Structure formats: structure tokens, C-alpha cells
Amino acid sequence: MQRAIALSALILLAGWAQAEIPAAFQGADLKLGERLMVEHKCNQCHAQKWGRDGQDIYRPKGRINTSSALMTMVEACNTDLGLGLFPEDVAAIAAVLNREHYHFSK
């Protein structure tokens, strides 16, 4: 009985946590996003353009103010730099950025 209650609580918590993730990022492979950001040297590129460690570009109060705008910006980098990322790659990178910097819930 206790096991069933614990399992039910875990399922409810998992559903609640998933609800906090914008639909655009649900199912995104965060490990893939992390790997792609290192592979394509995203932080180094941003550091060259914006100074310091490149993190200043990720401003929650900046022009990226929705999960959709975040996806669009990652896709713009993909296109401008000819990275050849697939849509699921773009979503994975955007999901990592959302987790680390933006925290959009919609």
C-alpha cells in the first residue's frame, strides 16, 4: 500500500514538473543541447561578440521574452552560422538556455 502511494506521488510530481516546461521544450534532449552548445562553441562565440564570458547575452529582461522568441533566436544562430542543426537540435539548445537562464513556463 505504501509503495502504491509513493508511486502515485511520484507520478503526480513528474506531471507537475512537466507542466512547468513550455510545450516547445517538452521532450527536448537536454544532454544533446548541452553537447551541441559545447561542440558549436556557443559561449565562445557570444564572448567574442558581447565580451566577458558570453553570458551577458542571456538576459531574462531582454528582447527574448517568450519561449517562442528563444527558439527563433537559436534558429537564427543556426541559419546565420550555417550550423546545420535539425529542429530537434534547436529545441534541445533552447531548452538548455531556458533551464539555465530564462525560466519560461509557457
- The confidence score (pLDDT) of residue 15 equals 42
Q: What's the number of domains the chain is made of?
A: 1
Q: What is the pTM of this model?
A: 0.75
> What pLDDT is stored for residue 10 in this prediction?
42
Which domain does 91 fall in, by range?
A: 2-102
- The half-sphere exposure of 61 on its side-chain side, counting CA atoms within 13 A, is 0
Structure confidence at residue 1 (pLDDT) = 58
Closest alpha carbon to 102 in 43, 57, 72: 57
Which grid coordinates are listed for 58? Answer: 542571456
Evaluate if residue 23 carries a pLDDT over 80: yes
Q: pLDDT digits over 34-82, tens only?
A: 999 999 999 888 888 766 666 666 665 677 889 999 999 999 999 999 9
**Cα–Cα distance for residue pair 14/64, rounded to 1 Å:** 28
Please state, in angstroms and rounded to a whole number, the distance separating the CA atoms of residues 104 and 25: 10
Mean pLDDT of 16-35: 82
Dist CA 71 CA 85 (whole Å): 12
pLDDT, average across residues 15-30: 74
Mean pLDDT of 83-88: 97
Q: In whole angstroms, give the CA distance from residue 9 to residue 56.
A: 39
User: How is residue 20 written as a grid cell?
Assistant: 512547468
Question: What pLDDT does 24 receive?
Answer: 84
